[in-house]
Amino acid sequence: MGRTACLSALFLLTVILNVRAQEERENKGSFHSILFLDYYWFAQSHNTDFTDKNGFLFRRIYLTYDRRVNDHLSARLRFDTKSPGDFSSDTKLRPYVKDAYLNWSSGNQQIRLGISPTPTFDLQEDIWKYRSVAKSPLNLFKFGSSRNLGISAKGKLGGSKNLEYHFFLGNGNGGKPELNSGKKLMLSVSYWLTDHFVIEGYADWKNISGEPAAVDYYTLKGFAAYQSENFSIGGLYAFQQYNASAETAKGLNLVSLFGNYTFSQGLRTFVQASMMLDPNPRAQDISYLPMSSAAPATFIVGGIDIRLYESLFLQPNLEAVLYGEDESGLRPQSDILPRLTVVFSF
């Protein structure tokens, strides 16, 4: 009986693999994956518990399945897993759903339903190119989530080839379950002045019903960038107003510059500098680089990108966080984090 069950399972697995191979040959479905592996060392930290901590961790493991149903309808299912980013948890890697959406497209228009990328910093990450090393500024400082559950529309406006939009109506809780009756509205409008130069305006508004600690907030962002085959540079300013209590409203101001340059086919360099002009109450919850919430922080990362093989990259980099003065006039000690990042896709 056990032998029969094993043979049946093997036969079923063979059939499934053959079907998937046939789908890929017909260009209907495909699997792909990417991994970010770090070796890190806290050379210095504002939190003495982190000083001299070092080790290996997976910052990201993606497994994605894309399926084209017909000329207009497609779907994506992506799983994500990562090592804990607080340097205290000892939990094992647990996968979760990163993307799960249906995509309808016609001409230059798309409508997505499910868990899909938001317009909050989608364009910046495309031009920054080094999500493998560091998040884009609004993502890093937790101004918003990279994913949300809801419905979105994106495409080109009117007959213009240069004017693009991305609208999203979502739960406002990332890809997590809805816990309240509030919703989040997001809108990005970008204009390509030339084939290389783009400007973007972004705004969002989120209402959180029944949570007095954060009744509602809104975000405004302006972004401009230049990109070519060998060189990219971008800058942004963002402001987020949120209610810290029923009586007091607080705001956060963020400015950032980033760039990357290609020396040759196998060698690139990159740098990003992002400054919080106000203390960020969410800073201590930033994964893989917890920051002080007591003072304004300037985040700097730079490094080189070495292409070893077609899908294997070595990216030595250095992260640093410099602090301004806190309310008592003191400066938290800077954070210095050398890392060696390996990126592999297949």
Domain presence at residue 230:
yes
Global confidence as pTM? 0.88
> Is 5 contained in some domain?
no
Residue 323 sits in a domain whose CATH number is 2.40.160.10
What's the number of domains the chain is made of?
Answer: 1
Asked whether residue 13 is assigned to any structural domain, the reply reads: no
pLDDT digits (tens, 9 = 90+) for 38-90: 999 999 999 999 999 999 999 999 999 999 999 999 999 999 999 998 888 88
Q: Is residue 23 part of a domain?
A: no
Q: Has residue 238 got a pLDDT over 90?
A: yes
Q: Residue 87's domain spans which residues?
A: 30-345
pLDDT of residue 275: 98
- 209 compared with 117, residue with greater pLDDT: 117
Match 């992260």 to its residue by tokens.
319
The answer to whether 299 and 273 have CB atoms below 8 angstroms apart is yes
Which residue in this structure is represented by tokens 């495909």? 30
Q: Is residue 98 part of a domain?
A: yes
- Burial of 123-147, coded b for 16+ CB within 10 Å and e otherwise, reads bbbebbebbbbbbbbbbbbbbbbbb
**pLDDT, tens only, 163-206:** 999 999 999 887 777 766 678 999 999 999 999 999 999 999 98
In a domain, 238, yes or no: yes
pLDDT for the residue numbered 24: 53
Residue 229 counted as domain residue: yes
> Would residue 286 count as lying in a domain?
yes
Residue 13 pLDDT more than 70?
no
Separation between Cα atoms, residue 276 and residue 271, nearest integer Å: 17
Report whether 242 contacts 217 (CB < 8 A): yes
Q: What distance lies between CA 345 and its chain's CA centroid?
A: 17
